[in-house]
Amino acid sequence: MSWISRETIPARPAPPVPSRGWSGTRVAGHLLMALWIVAGASLLYYLAENVMSDFVRNYWEKYLDGIVVTLQLVGLSMVAGAALSLLVALARASRNPFVSGIAYAYVYFFRGTPLLAQTFLIYYGAGSFRPFLSDVGLWWFFRDAWYCAVFAFTLNTAAYQAEILRGAVRNVDKGQWEAAAALGLRKGITFWKVILPQALIVALRPYGNELILMIKGSAIVSLVTIFDLMGETRRAYSRTFDFQAYIWAAVLYLIVVETLRRIWDEIELRLTRHLRRS
């Protein structure tokens, strides 16, 4: 067995790490990052400089009120929209072509037209039916910009949420229905106890996106005289012509949206922990 070597080959030194060098992309990336850092630093400097200004002293409470109004509007219409979306989704799945056709038209209309136009249609358009609405006793509802905005947002988000729900329910495996039927569960109970919980987990991410879109979309209610965060901003700007009104609004919106996104990610992580293998 002389061909077997008696001693092992000594370990070789590890090859040198190739230097990454300053390629074009790396230079571009560092330049862009430097640009962002400069922009962020100057923004922070600008905000710090103005945090004691008259503008902030006069308006910071208004801005907080505005955030509360925005969150109230979005929260209310999201919850009401969720309830309505269940009906719409059920109607779309109906075998009756008339019912499913109406639900389809509803969803198509509210997804195909701008939210701003819908809000105008409800808030201003209700004026065309004033005698009728007064007779029915609903004029107090449509006279008020706040109710109209909540109504428009509810109808709008219900259409989107119905689509989310429909997609999620269809995503649940057919075997789940069959297994529940084999266990002797009625269709309604199967839907509530077996299908919906699984569907909602799939729907978590789109629901989060819808929430963010609603927060952002809610800025348009400032155009129908509601003083949400955007409305307060516009009022402050029109009184002072101080551009920091918009800068503060941008910062606040980013904070609200990012916070909600983080919270939603946490919720999702928590609710799907049984699906992960660690």
Task: Return residues touching another protein (CB under 8 A).
Answer: 23, 25-26, 28-30, 32-33, 35-36, 108-109, 112-118, 120-121, 124-129, 215-220, 222-223, 230, 233-234, 237, 243, 246, 249-250, 253-254, 257-258
Nearer to another protein, 108 or 192 (CB): 108
Nearer to another protein, 91 or 215 (CB): 215
Class of residue 193 by CB neighbours under 10 A (exposed 0-12, middle 13-18, buried 19+): exposed
Nearer to another protein, 117 or 189 (CB): 117
Nearer to another protein, 120 or 146 (CB): 120
- Taking the complex as a whole, the smallest distance from the CB of residue 241 to another protein amounts, in Å, to 9
- Taking the complex as a whole, the smallest distance from the CB of residue 150 to another protein amounts, in Å, to 18
- Taking the complex as a whole, the smallest distance from the CB of residue 157 to another protein amounts, in Å, to 15
Structure tokens at 25: 């992309």
- Taking the complex as a whole, the smallest distance from the CB of residue 78 to another protein amounts, in Å, to 16
Residue 242 CA to residue 208 CA, distance in Å, equals 34
- Taking the complex as a whole, the smallest distance from the CB of residue 83 to another protein amounts, in Å, to 24
Nearer to another protein, 85 or 222 (CB): 222
HEC string for the chain: CCCCCCCCCCCCCCCCCCCCCCCHHHHHHHHHHHHHHHHHHHHHHHHHHHCCCHHHHHHHHHHHHHHHHHHHHHHHHHHHHHHHHHHHHHHHCCCCHHHHHHHHHHHHHHHHCCHHHHHHHHHCHHHHHHHHHHHHCCHHHHHCHHHHHHHHHHHHHHHHHHHHHHHHHHHCCHHHHHHHHHCCCCHHHHHHHHHHHHHHHHHHHHHHHHHHHHHHHHHHHHHHCCCCHHHHHHHHHHHHCCCHHHHHHHHHHHHHHHHHHHHHHHHHHHHCHHHCCC
Nearer to another protein, 165 or 215 (CB): 215
- Taking the complex as a whole, the smallest distance from the CB of residue 29 to another protein amounts, in Å, to 3
**Please, are residues 164 and 207 in contact by the beta-carbon 8 Å criterion?**
yes
- Taking the complex as a whole, the smallest distance from the CB of residue 233 to another protein amounts, in Å, to 8
Nearer to another protein, 250 or 271 (CB): 250
